[in-house]
Each structure stands twice: as structure tokens, then as C-alpha cells.
Amino acid sequence: MVLSNLNNRAGLEKLHPLMPKLFEFLEQNDMASLPVGIYEIVGRDLFINNQVPEDLFTAENAPIEVHRKYIDVQVVLRGKETMGWKPMEEVEEWRGEYDEEKDVRFSDERCEHYVTLKAGELVVFFPNDGHAPLIGASEEPLRKFIAKVRCE
């Protein structure tokens, strides 16, 4: 897991060969002004899910999720969002099997570490990072995007 902000482009671009393409796209597009939806940058190897989530969790009911194929770059554009983190190898019980098509597996365990992000801040979750996004109640509606970076 990496915690940072959009101003740390130089450092974040070193994390994966597709990261420079992500920041080029962000430089040319104001994600907060673009409609909600999927934006393919490099086909399904690098795409953005631009969203305004309405249903937020509490820390007590936020499921942990993990991915195998993609790195998540979760960026808050407006409002605040709390996210939990727990190393995948410490998750003891899973809810069902890994869904190959959706690239996700869930657990009902609780995270042990939490961070609250505000506009312009981001977190990078790698496949070994169990994470629980969408926690909290912001005074203003949450606006965020998740960049999915293929890593396999």
C-alpha cells in the first residue's frame, strides 16, 4: 500500500510502467468534471472507474477485498473517504471463491489499520493488500475514481 497525493507524480510513476500513461490522462482531463463511468486509457490494461458512490460503509461492516490482476489507485476528488487495510496473508476467512471475471474476493473480517483521505489524496493497493474502501460519511457527497492498472 502506498499513501500519497496527486502532486507526487514523479514518485508514483515509478511504481508501474503504465503509471506515466495514467498521469498523462489525468493531466489532460478533469476527472471531477467528467461524467461518471469507465474511461479506457490503454484498453483493459489501464482504465478508470469514475464514480459518485452513494452507499458508504462503517468500519464495522466494510468488507475487505483483494484483487489478483489489477493494482487499485483510489483517488478522492471531493469529500472524504476512509479506507481500511489488512495484509492479504493475515485474512483468515474468505466469503466465497475468487471471482476471475470481476477480479475480486471478499472477506467479512475487519481491517486493523485505517486512513482517511481528502480531495487530491490517493492510495495505491497492490494485489497483496486487503482493503476496505468506501467507509465514512462525508459532509459533501464523495466523488472519486479508481484507476485499475493491470499487473499480471
Report the mean per-residue pLDDT for the chain: 95
Three-state DSSP class for residue 86: strand
Main-chain phi, psi angles of 22, to 5 degrees: -60, -50
Q: Which letter does DSSP use for residue 58 in this model?
A: P
**49 touches 64 (CB < 8 A):** no
pTM for this predicted structure: 0.95
pLDDT at position 54: 87
- Segment 61-102, tens digit of pLDDT: 999 999 999 999 999 999 999 999 999 999 999 999 999 999
- Segment 104-151, tens digit of pLDDT: 999 999 999 999 999 999 999 999 999 999 998 667 889 999 999 999
How far apart are alpha carbons 65 and 99 in whole angstroms? 11
- Segment 85-94, tens digit of pLDDT: 999 999 999 9
pLDDT at position 147: 98
Output the nine-digit C-alpha cell for 42: 490503454
Name every residue whose Cβ is closer than 8 Å to that of residue 142 and which is 6 or more positions away in sequence: 52, 53, 56, 76, 78, 79, 80, 81, 134, 136
Judge whether residue 19 has pLDDT over 90: yes
pLDDT at position 33: 96
Judge whether residue 38 has pLDDT over 80: yes
pLDDT at position 106: 98
Beta bridge partners of 78: 143
pLDDT at position 4: 98
